[in-house]
């Protein structure tokens, strides 16, 4: 294993190009199951989770190769394989996204119950209930979801709660189903829209992208295509949070500006100066950030995936901030680690009350999940002295070259073996 050693006290100065979005790339990779042939997918980020997904697809008979720096070519053949094994699915939750397309295309699916970040319950019962409504027989045996069907049929699906992966799974399943599927209380995230755009380019008939009601008219066949994955709004937001925390100047190139509205508004509220021209964000910060309250919500609200990074920024803000987590019940595991660095944070049910302090101090800290690792990195940038961030593999799951990019922006960071 590896760790990062971060020395605090440096400001950000420079420019960085935002990478492709992990949460868009993963379902798009799963959607290739739906049609045989060759796909050219560009803007695929270099991440641990992407490597894991490509490994799962390989088990299913779908090969991949790199032809350029960010272009992945997938070759999909009509195989009988339908099992996503525990050894791979345990590494990330996104493996469950194979359930819908496998049932739609190969009529069978055997998927290990998902793993990933330990941030709380993310049950798959919503996926199973919806697929059962579409005619699938689904059982959970020996830690696996086992499902089969004679052919999926359109249905009216009404999710009890908004679920991004549930919405994506059913969209993919419905693309080849017989008849019309109407998904109500659907997720509105930009990554869901990106998946729909990809499927429609393959020949699917999907309407309502970006709304809470999505209508899918099943087609008999889909075809492979070329596609460029959207850029990562969470990566962009993380860099801007870091800038607001330590100060300096930053140019974000290839930024998904139209999907960052609430984040940008909140960053302006805490004192970040932001100038936007098309997909370029120029930002600067010269003073200690102001305090602000945040409540995480499904899109278009403030994203749960930005909560830890924003909290790190608020640890040195002027005043008191209240950060409420409404999506995942265990997503405050980074609080204990930030307190080791001198942060003044009190937990009250689903809220964290953060009182800004004059400074943090370097310490050894342990990343509990993907976004917590980014939050701890920002805290380490703020801290006096040296911090050691352990379990850095969490960071590598969702950020493409994060420590390298930070080093290019003037942050003192070193990656070393963790004994």
Binding residues for UDP-N-acetyl-alpha-D-glucosamine: 93, 122-126, 305, 327
241 among known catalytic residues: no
- Residues 356, 317 contacting (CB under 8 angstroms): yes
Catalytic residue from among 30, 117, 241, 313:
117
- DSSP structure string for 97-145: GGHHHHHHHHSEEEEEPP----SS---SHHHHHHHHHTT-EEEEETTEE
Can you tell me the distance from the alpha carbon of 400 to that of 209, in angstroms, rounded to the nearest whole number? 27
Q: How far is CA 152 from the centre of its chain?
A: 28
Q: What CA–CA distance (Å, rounded) separates 357 from 84?
A: 47
Beta carbons of 42 and 70 less than 8 angstroms apart: yes
Where does residue 401 fall: left (phi above 0), alpha (psi -120 to 50 degrees), or beta otherwise? Answer: left
Residues labelled catalytic:
117
């Amino acid at each position: 294993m590896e760790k990062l050693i971060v020395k605090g006290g440096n400001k950000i100065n420079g420019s960085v190009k935002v990478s492709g979005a992990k949460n868009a790339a993963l379902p798009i990779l799963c959607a290739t199951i739906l049609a045989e042939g060759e796909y050219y997918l560009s803007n695929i980020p270099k991440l641990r989770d992407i490597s894991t997904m490509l490994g799962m697809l390989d088990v299913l008979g779908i090969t991949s190769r790199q032809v350029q720096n960010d272009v992945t070519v997938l070759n999909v053949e009509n195989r009988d394989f339908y099992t996503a094994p525990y050894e791979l699915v345990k590494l990330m939750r996104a493996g469950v996204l194979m359930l819908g397309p496998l049932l739609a295309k190969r009529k069978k699916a055997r998927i290990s119950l998902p793993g990933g970040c330990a941030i709380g319950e993310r049950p798959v019962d919503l996926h199973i209930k919806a697929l059962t409504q579409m005619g699938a027989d689904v059982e959970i045996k020996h830690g696996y979801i086992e499902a089969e069907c004679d052919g999926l049929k359109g249905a009216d699906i009404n999710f009890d709660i908004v679920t991004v992966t549930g919405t994506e799974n059913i969209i993919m399943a419905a693309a080849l189903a017989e008849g019309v599927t109407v998904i109500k209380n659907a997720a509105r995230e930009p990554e869901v829209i990106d998946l729909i755009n990809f499927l429609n380019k393959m020949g699917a008939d999907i309407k309502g992208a970006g709304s809470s009601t999505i209508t899918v008219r099943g087609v008999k066949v889909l075809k492979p295509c070329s596609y460029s994955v959207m850029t990562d709004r969470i990566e962009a937001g993380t860099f801007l949070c870091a800038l607001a925390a330590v100060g300096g100047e930053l140019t974000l190139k290839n930024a998904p500006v139209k999907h960052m509205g609430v984040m940008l508004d909140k960053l302006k509220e805490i004192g970040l100066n932001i100038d936007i021209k098309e997909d370029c964000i120029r930002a600067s910060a010269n003073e200690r950030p102001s305090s602000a309250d945040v409540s995480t919500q499904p899109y278009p609200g403030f994203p749960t995936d930005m909560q830890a990074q924003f909290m790190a920024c608020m640890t040195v803000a002027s005043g008191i901030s209240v950060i409420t987590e409404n999506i995942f019940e265990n997503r405050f595991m980074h609080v204990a680690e930030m307190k080791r660095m001198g942060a003044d944070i009190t937990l009250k049910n689903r809220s964290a009350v953060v009182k800004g302090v004059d400074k943090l101090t370097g310490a050894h800290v342990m990343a509990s999940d993907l976004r917590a690792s980014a939050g701890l990195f920002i805290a380490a940038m703020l801290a006096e002295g040296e911090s050691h961030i352990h379990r850095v593999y969490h960071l590598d799951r969702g950020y493409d070259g994060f420590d390298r990019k930070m080093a290019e922006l003037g942050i003192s960071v070193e990656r070393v073996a963790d004994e």
